[in-house]
Structure 1
Amino acid sequence: RGWITKAIYDGDTIVGFAMYGYSEEKDFFEICRLMIDHKFQRQGFGKKALSLIIEEMSKNKQCSEIYISFEPENYSAKKLYEEFGFENTGKILDDEMLYCLKI
């Protein structure tokens, strides 16, 4: 348990980072950061990273749901997460929409 932080690379160039794991405070598994530098957005890095993160988190037998939150006006994030099956929980967490993926 705890947080895993990973850099996202394109060859030798860092294009973003991710932080995910089990939140003791919230009592659920979450992807708390998935950030791609604006210069590298819309090139598939977020989609590939999200796929790998979900795959890795799914290997944990205790992980049956993964939560992620984002600002309501971030339509690109909303579209990406919904493509992977994340669904709106109807809850707001720190002014962000909270989505959940059931594994």
Structure 2
Amino acid sequence: MSVVIKLSTVTKENYESVCELDVLEEQNDYVACNMWSLVESQFNDGYETRAIYLDDKEVGFFMWVLETPDKISIWRFMVDHQYQQKGIGRKALDLALNEIKQVSGLKKIEICYNPKNPVAKSFYSSFGFNEIGMDEDNEDMLAIIKL
């Protein structure tokens, strides 16, 4: 029996479970709070949120933002600490990128990550993200996929 990884819109039925997801303490500097992200998404246009499911259980969270008509930025991506190192994040990012690429007129997908994050560069580059340098605040590495 194989497990099923899927993405689903965050709704009033699942937002509490998404808010309870957490990373390891040493990862807290790399990931924003899911509750804050959900608040942001309710009050700003162009924000999309998805719960990552393992079978029927919420195990992670995505948020991406349509920043311009041709650019989407992945602002949030996390997998709960209990479900890390199981390939869930890899499958979930693949699903998210496939969904994002359906947006008409899209030319670029970007993601930022802490350059001190030990796994981020190789993980994201395996999906085709290319580092282009530090972001405008000079805090995070910016990587893009050109479509």
Q: Name the structure 2 match of 1:99.
A: 143
| 1:37 counterpart (61, 80, 105) | 80
Q: Report the TM-score, using the length of structure 2 for normalisation.
A: 0.63
* 1:54 maps to 2:97: yes
Q: Name the structure 2 match of 1:87.
A: 130
- Report the number of matched residues: 101
* 1:2 maps to 2:50: no
SS in structure 1 opposite 2:116? coil
Q: Which runs of 5+ in 2 are unaligned?
A: 1-44
Please say which structure displays the higher CA radius of gyration: 2
Measure, in 2, the Cα distance between the counterparts of 1:64 and 1:87.
Answer: 14
Q: Which runs of 5+ in 1 are unaligned?
A: none
Instruction: Tell me if structure 2 keeps the 8 A contact 1:30–1:67.
Output: yes
Measure, in 2, the Cα distance between the counterparts of 1:12 and 1:75.
Answer: 30
CA distances 1:39-87 after superposition (whole Å, capped 9, x unpaired)? 2111111111111111111111221110000111112222110000100
Superposition RMSD on alpha carbons, in Å? Answer: 1.7
Q: Name the structure 1 match of 2:109.
A: 66
Instruction: Tell me if structure 2 keeps the 8 A contact 1:69–1:93.
Output: no
Provide runs of 4+ in structure 1 moved above 4 Å: none
Percent of aligned pairs with the same amino acid: 39
Letter in 1 for 2:66: Y
Counterparts in 2 of 1:16-31, with a 5 A limit?
A: 16-23=60-67, 28-31=71-74
| Larger fraction in strand | 1
| TM-superposed deviation, 1:93 | 4.5
CA distances 1:6-41 after superposition (whole Å, capped 9, x unpaired)? 1111122211100013025xx831111111112211
| Larger fraction in helix | 2
Measure, in 1, the Cα distance between the counterparts of 2:121 and 2:82.
Answer: 20
